[in-house]
Structure formats: structure tokens, C-alpha cells
Amino acid sequence: MGAKKAALKKNLPRVVLDTNVVLSALLFRSGRVSWLVEAWQSGCVTPLASKESVTELLRVLAYPKFKLDEWEQQAVLGSFLPHAETVAVPPGGKAFACRDADDAKFLALARAGKADYLVTGDADLLAVSGFKTCPIVTPERFREIFEQTG
């Protein structure tokens, strides 16, 4: 990668997208968050992923309500994972409090990956206060920010 391209990549927003945001973007191509697919595939944002967030994504993709066979699940993952930066989240450490303990993985990922934004529609994550790593915003708010800075 050339020096100019590396410098540009450093300025890209590093984002944690919760599972529902990723699935909505990938499965509902005319939905309100579908624009995110082009944003990460074109390299305009850097989504962050961890072992825990990908494990949840795999589990949810297999839900019967989505009616995706194994090949389709892999195709969906192939539209996201190659564009995501994998972050090793250290085990243990100080967990950040969240009403839904299952959402703590996204806070830990944001902290470990030095995220610029955590993008979610989850009320439990949006209610978190005192998280100083990055703003926790809705997909709509992130789009406003992205369009203003883009």
C-alpha cells in the first residue's frame, strides 16, 4: 500500500456495528442501513470484528426466520468479513456495565479496536453512559456524521 493510501486509510472511521445493524445492511438491501454495505465495501469505513461478534453473527445467521442455507450464510459473511478488521479483545479486564450483559462484547470491541463510533439500534447500548472510548450512535446519526465528513 502506498504512503498516500495508507494515510487515507488511517483517517477512515473505525466502527463497531452491532449484529442487528450488520444483518439489516446485508439482508435487507433496500433498507435504511443498506448504504453501509457500500461504505465498507468501498473502503470508506473500517468495520471492526472480534471473535465474539463474529460468533454471534454466525449464530444469528442460522436462525430459521432468515431461511438461509449454509451456502447463503457463507455468502452473507463473505460480503462483510473480508472488509472488517479483526481485533483481538483481551479476556477479562474491566468490563463496562451495560443493561444487557450480552452487549458488553460490542463495548469491549470498541475499546480494544479504538473505534471512532459504535453503531447500534439497541436501546440497551444506546442507554450506556460514561463510555469514553467513542460515541454510541444510531445508524441514522452515523449516516449524518458520515455524510458531513465524507
Distance CA 95, CA 75 (A): 33
**The whole model's pTM is what?**
0.89
| Residue 3 within any structural domain of the chain | no
Distance CA 50, CA 48 (A): 7
User: Whole domain around residue 48: which residue ranges?
Assistant: 12-149
| Residue 71 within any structural domain of the chain | yes
> Measured in Å, how far apart are the chain's first and last C-alpha atoms?
22
Which pLDDT score, from 0 to 100, does residue 6 have?
Answer: 36
Contact 15, 118 (CB under 8 A): yes
| Residue 4 within any structural domain of the chain | no
Q: Rounded mean pLDDT of the chain?
A: 89
Q: How many domains does the chain have?
A: 1
Distance CA 85, CA 71 (A): 23
Give tens-digit pLDDT for 21-31.
Answer: 999 999 998 88
| Residue 6 within any structural domain of the chain | no
Which pLDDT score, from 0 to 100, does residue 101 have?
Answer: 82
| Residue 61 within any structural domain of the chain | yes
Give tens-digit pLDDT for 50-65.
Answer: 999 999 999 999 999 9
The three cell numbers locating residue 24: 439489516
Q: Name residues of the chain where pLDDT drops below 70.
A: 1-10, 92-95, 150
For residue 18, the domain's CATH number is 3.40.50.1010
| Residue 123 within any structural domain of the chain | yes
Which pLDDT score, from 0 to 100, does residue 4 have?
Answer: 31
| Residue 65 within any structural domain of the chain | yes
Distance CA 15, CA 49 (A): 9
Q: Give the Cβ contact number of residue 82 at 10 Å.
A: 9
- HSE toward the beta carbon, residue 21, CA cutoff 13 A: 26
